[in-house]
Amino acid sequence: MADDWQEAIRTLGADHRSPSSALALRAAALLDQLAKGSPADLPAAGRALVRAQPAMASVVATANVALRALEALGAASVSAALAALQRGVDADRRAAARAVCDQLDAPIRVVTTSVSANVVAALEALRSADLLQDVVCAESRPLLEGTALARSLVDAGFDVTLVADAALPEHLRPGCVFLAGTDAILPDSIANKCGTRVLATWAKLCGVPRYVLATRDKIYPPELVAHWDNPEREPRELVQDPPPKLRVENRAFDRTPLSAWTTVWVGGLPLADALASGDRGAARALLEGRSGAGL
């Protein structure tokens, strides 16, 4: 089994296109399989998942939940713990969508960047409540996640405009809201697709409401925040066959200060209330590692 799970984690770590929610589901399925067939491998697999996707809080939270269950109640409890986490995430997604609807009393334009399952859920809720005029999506280079989102929204019957990343600020004006997901909620900031910080800052200057829509697994476990990382991505995502002397910087995420947002919703709770309501202590296996030096 060791070779199989190690290859699965390598593949997950190399996946820069799937949303964090999909990566977390794959991580949970792998950990569930190990708990049932090879529980001795769980600590190593959990640490490897964190190293594979250090920017994705949902992957880190999934590993942490599985290993905390293992340490507290044994391997037989891991499946139930992971299922409970997913139920909580699903409930949070619905609650965050309702929270956005509750802020509005008239139809609005939604402006967004990248792609987020939480934002899609909010769009569906807004449309059902007759609170949605239309959607403007940034293309979200270099991987064009926003273009893919725009296509899927059109297929689902939404009125959508797709614009170049640099043109999105033109649509941040009265009568709209800026909605974003997040890959990690850190103590002082929101980590999301590179460019989010500029858009949130401009929206604030223009007086446009700015909401982050998150689920409980997006809060990076406080004791593990030092392991959050924003590694360089492949240069070829930006330019094919770069000349030898060309420096290519390609980081996927930026960090937007919490103060830039009108509200960071974690489910139906503002972030401060959500932080006070949960236990996010780290599993010993993630703190100590095999050598006692951490991950």
Instruction: Look at residues 227, 233, 277 and name the one whose alpha carbon lies nearest to residue 251.
Output: 233
Instruction: Look at residues 233, 228, 219, 217 and name the one whose alpha carbon lies nearest to residue 286.
Output: 228
Share of residues in the chain with pLDDT > 90 (%): 92
Instruction: Look at residues 200, 188, 283, 191 and name the one whose alpha carbon lies nearest to residue 229.
Output: 191
Please say if the pLDDT value at position 210 is more than 50. yes
Angstrom distance (rounded) from CA 193 to CA 182: 8
Please say if the pLDDT value at position 1 is more than 90. no
Please say if the pLDDT value at position 291 is more than 50. no
Q: How far is CA 14 from the centre of its chain?
A: 16
pLDDT at res. 294: 59
Strand ranges inside 164-273, DSSP E: 176-180, 184-185, 189-193, 210-214, 253-257, 263-266, 269-270
Considering the segment(s) 94-277 as one domain, its CATH architecture is 3-Layer(aba) Sandwich (3.40)
pLDDT at res. 278: 82
- In this prediction the pTM is 0.94
Q: Are 53 and 13 in contact (CB under 8 A)?
A: yes
- Domain range list for the chain: 2-89+279-288, 94-277
- Judged by DSSP in three states, 191 sits in strand
